Copies of this chain bind each other. A is one copy, B any other.
Amino acid sequence: MAKVVRNVRRTDDVIVRGLGEIGVATVHEAQGRKGLLGSHLRPIFRPAKIAGNALTCEVAPGDNWMIHVALEEARQGDILVVTPTSPCDDGYFGDLLATSAAARGIRGLVIDAGVRDIATLTEMGFPVWSKSVSAQGTVKETLADVQVPIVCAGCLVRPGDVIVADDDGVCVVPAENAAEVLEKARRRERIEEEKRQRYAAGELSLDVNAMRPKLLEEGLVYVG
Contacts and interface: CB of A to CB of B under 8 A. Distances in A.
A23 to B, nearest CB: 8
Interface residues on A, range: 35 or more
B151 A211 contact: no
Contacts of A219: 1-2, 143
| Copies of this protein in the complex | 6
B166 A155 contact: no
Interface string A1-39: 111111110000000000000011100110011101011
Interface of A: 1-8, 23-25, 28-29, 32-34, 36, 38-39, 42, 46-47, 49, 60-63, 65, 68-69, 71-72, 85-91, 94-97, 99-100, 102-104, 114, 116-119, 122, 132-137, 139-143, 147, 149, 151, 154-156, 166-169, 171, 192, 195-196, 199-206, 209, 211, 215, 218-224
